[in-house]
Structure 1
Amino acid sequence: MKTKLLPLSRWTAFLFLPVLVVLSFTSCEDEVETTYTYRTQVPLFLEVNTFREADILIEPGKPLDNPGKIYIYGDYLLISEPDKGIHILDNTNPATPKNINFINIPGTMDLAINSNVLYADNYVDLLAFDITNPKDIKLLKREEDVFPNLYSNEETGTIVVYKDTLITSTQANMHLGHWGRPATRLDFFANASGMESRAVSQNYGQGGSMARFTLLGGHLYAVDDNHLRIFNVELPDDPKFTSEILLGWGIETIFPFKDKLFIGSMTGMHIYDASTPSDPKKMAEYQHITACDPVVVNDEYAFVTLRSGTGCRMGIDELHVLDIINPYQPVLLKKYPMENPHGLGLAGDYLYIAEGKHGLKSFNVSNVFAIGDNLVEHLKDLRSVDIIPGPKSLIVIGPDGVCQFDYTNPEKLKKLSCINVTFR
């Protein structure tokens, strides 16, 4: 019998692709050999001078290919393209967003905006751009060597970055060595808010719950797998790295609320007092089973999603609700089963949860002990990764693109627009 290939569909790096299965039969025996296709990342070595000496290009608006983080600033919507750059859109009317331009920034993942100054990572450096006129963007400053976790050799100025690639194997579960990133089976679903506080005379934007950059009290905070890094941005166009705090391992997200920082990790939620912005102090840590973990909060409660998946150490799929009235002693009040929760957004009594390939859910959380009984909507066809409840619209990002909804009636979302991924 001839070898038969099952069809391979093309998706984005955020979500799964169907597994490629090769069935081989002999004429005399019923033997089946299964070949699995994985997405993994292989290391590439790059000299820092290579990207520091290259021009940062401002290009015309281009189609969305692989959406990463979302951020809103005034009438503008920004969408990161991991490792490639940042799309800037005029979102004056969320029903008709207009693509303005694209900032080509190799090695970028996160962003934040303070008083018309855009901060973005460029591998190991932090860049600051003047976006007062989004059609005439200017690079203001490069703060070098502030994200040293990428270095493989600081003396020679060599960093290691990873490139997506596909490999095949007869192993059902494959793990690579020290330099290779964990391989992800393509038949499995894999990994890929609130308004930020305002410092006096500074104007911050708004990020999602999956953000690794945030702003508070004239300071930019950035987390990597192990550290919280602190930058003084009281002069927005002159960011200065000041210090770092070792947090542990598996750090994933950061969310600001009033004078506190809530940091999500694979093992729990850290709470830091940032009333002295230059010197945050640890208040408490809530620990849970190993799983991916973004968080949003209000004055009384923290809402934490835990999800399973290859990159999440095969954890659990739940929503945890914590009492944080005393932030030094957070108390778990209730756990709710979920399907595969990613980012989340809180607007008044309504909590929006991105359930990955399972869609978008909204809950009335006025009674935190009955959230499971108060599912408001479930948009099953909207694959979602993160959410921003913005002043004009509810913005939802996923592997298929970015959609905006009118949520003035939180009981019934009304779709305004979608910017779809353009497959190449």
Structure 2
Amino acid sequence: MKLKFLLLSLIFFSIMSCDEDNTDYEFVTVATPELMSIAAFRNSVDIVAPKNIEQAGKIYAYNNYIFVNDVNKGVHVIDNTNPKAPKAIKYIRIPGNEDISVKDNFLYADSATDLLVFDISDINSITLIERLEDVFKVYDFLIPAEADFINYGNFNFETEIIVGWTIATERREKVDESQIDVVFDGAMLNNGSSESVTGQGGSLARFQIVDNYLYTVGSHEMIIFNISNLSEPTFVKSQYSGNNIETLFQAEGYLYIGSTDGMYIYDLVNAESPAYVSEFIHWTGCDPVVVDGDYAYLTIRGGNNCGEQESVLEVIDISDKSNPTLSGRYLLENPYGLGVKGDMLFVCDGTAGLKLFDKSDPLNIGMTKSFKNIQATDVIPLENTLIMIGGKTLYQYEYVNDGVELVSSFSLN
């Protein structure tokens, strides 16, 4: 028996030794999709009891509730009637979900290629009331950033949907990337008052409600829905709107689109057909944007799959929408989302924590406070509190004269 193992070991090391001299092979990280039939996928939406979060995504605030996306899985509903003691009350299972928006107790959510509408007028009895199928033709399947190759196998995009990924390291023969021609049919993958009440998302949002329209963005397109009948939205159109789009922000009749290449500005003179106005181009990097008055604020994150440049905060003069210009640039460490309220600018600097800037003079902003030893991903500056998500924790702060003070930290585990 010992001799058998010795022979096997010699064979293995002999092969490995040969490979060391063979430059035709390499070890690569391969992502293989986890598949579900579209029929089963659409039948898996459900309202269940609260559960632990797996991967916290985007946040959204509406009335006394906070909604936290569980990346590609669904939405956690938090009762925030008492910000000092928030309470998880429901979990909406929505496979393929990244974003939501809420208006007058109707919640709109993406589910891979579909748009779903939920009635949340009774938060204890949330119901799915409408589904618009196949309205998102280009769907970001959340391809893992660490993947060198994608093994689609026998994936049939007409009958199946990708619901997750399996990562493995494989030894493969080297491929001349200049000879690769990737085509994937049409589904090209890319790395309680009488007054109307609309909720508020963070800077990483891709959904925005403006009056009677819901605007959404994908990797390169904007898709518009008429929601004048809140329970029965209608698809209006899809239009090309830029490259590598990541975020969407609206302010005073304009849409500001953040992409890895820069910021695009569209006007809403014709609500059903936003018109391109201008763009501000920067080096490649992950790029959310918020706007306040005549200035736009962008964080650009370098490293990983976001680009090789440094990470910065940029201040853009947009007083002339047709000609946005750079007014200032400030170094950061690992920025994600950001938000503004009054003279305060809140920047989520990833593992470097939450940073506060005085922007009373937008041409000369300065950091006034830093909350370290926390993970900061995105913020929503509400009227009385600042909500922040980081890791698997929901933080809430109250405004004070010199910035903010912590009110509560709520674990989503």
Measured in 1, the distance between the counterparts of 2:351 and 2:164 equals: 24
> For the Cα contact (< 8 Å) 1:402–1:418, is it kept in 2?
yes
Deviates more, 1:290-299 or 1:274-283: 274-283
Measured in 1, the distance between the counterparts of 2:221 and 2:373 equals: 36
User: Deviation at 1:55?
Assistant: 4.6
Aligned to 1:69: 58
Measured in 2, the distance between the counterparts of 1:253 and 1:240 equals: 22
Aligned to 1:43: 33
Which residue of 372, 376, 381 corresponds with 1:380?
372
Q: Percent identity?
A: 36
User: Deviation at 1:386?
Assistant: 0.6
Measured in 1, the distance between the counterparts of 2:387 and 2:210 equals: 22
Question: Letter of the aligned partner of 1:50 in structure 2?
Answer: A
SS at match of 1:149: coil
SS at match of 1:51: helix
Question: In the TM superposition, what are the counterparts of 1:66-145 in structure 2 within 5 Å?
Answer: 66-145=55-134
> For the Cα contact (< 8 Å) 1:39–1:164, is it kept in 2?
no
Aligned to 1:14: none
> For the Cα contact (< 8 Å) 1:45–1:158, is it kept in 2?
no
Question: Letter of the aligned partner of 1:413 in structure 2?
Answer: V
Indicate how the Cα distance of structure 1 residues 56 and 319 shifts in structure 2: closer, same or farther if over 3 A, else same: same
Deviations 1:22-81 (A, max 9, x none): xxxxxxxxxxxxxxx9987432344322222x1521111223332111000011111111
> For the Cα contact (< 8 Å) 1:41–1:163, is it kept in 2?
no
Aligned to 2:17: none
Aligned to 1:15: none
Aligned-CA RMSD value: 3.1
User: Deviation at 1:310?
Assistant: 1.7
Measured in 1, the distance between the counterparts of 2:97 and 2:111 equals: 5
Measured in 1, the distance between the counterparts of 2:39 and 2:329 equals: 49
> For the Cα contact (< 8 Å) 1:47–1:157, is it kept in 2?
no
SS at match of 2:360: coil
Question: In the TM superposition, what are the counterparts of 1:314-325 in structure 2 within 5 Å?
Answer: 314-325=308-319
Aligned to 1:158: 159
Question: In the TM superposition, what are the counterparts of 1:246-395 in structure 2 within 5 Å?
Answer: 246-371=240-365, 374-395=366-387
Deviations 1:245-294 (A, max 9, x none): 11232100000112111000000101110132211111111111111110
User: Deviation at 1:400?
Assistant: 3.2
Aligned to 1:418: 409
Measured in 2, the distance between the counterparts of 1:330 and 1:317 equals: 20
User: Deviation at 1:314?
Assistant: 2.5
For structure 2, list consecutive stretches of 5 or more residues without a partner in the other structure. 1-26, 142-151, 185-193
Indicate how the Cα distance of structure 1 residues 325 and 412 shifts in structure 2: closer, same or farther if over 3 A, else same: closer
Measured in 2, the distance between the counterparts of 1:262 and 1:282 equals: 10
Indicate how the Cα distance of structure 1 residues 124 and 351 shifts in structure 2: closer, same or farther if over 3 A, else same: same
Aligned to 2:201: 207
Measured in 2, the distance between the counterparts of 1:59 and 1:44 equals: 23
SS at match of 2:214: strand
User: Deviation at 1:226?
Assistant: 0.8
Runs of 4+ in 1 over 4 A off after TM superposition: 37-41, 151-156, 168-171, 176-180
User: Deviation at 1:393?
Assistant: 1.3
Measured in 2, the distance between the counterparts of 1:51 and 1:170 equals: 33
User: Deviation at 1:115?
Assistant: 0.9
Structure with larger Rg: 2
Which residue of 393, 399, 402 corresponds with 1:401?
393
Deviations 1:354-394 (A, max 9, x none): 001111100001112322xx211111112111111112311
Question: Letter of the aligned partner of 1:157 in structure 2?
Answer: E
Measured in 1, the distance between the counterparts of 2:199 and 2:353 equals: 26
SS at match of 1:50: helix
User: Deviation at 1:413?
Assistant: 2.1
Measured in 2, the distance between the counterparts of 1:260 and 1:128 equals: 25
Measured in 2, the distance between the counterparts of 1:45 and 1:61 equals: 25
> For the Cα contact (< 8 Å) 1:396–1:403, is it kept in 2?
yes
Deviations 1:289-313 (A, max 9, x none): 1111100011110001111122213
SS at match of 2:85: coil
Measured in 2, the distance between the counterparts of 1:40 and 1:403 equals: 36
Deviations 1:296-338 (A, max 9, x none): 0111100011111222132331111111111111111111111
Question: Letter of the aligned partner of 1:376 in structure 2?
Answer: T
What is the number of equivalent residue pairs in this alignment? Answer: 365
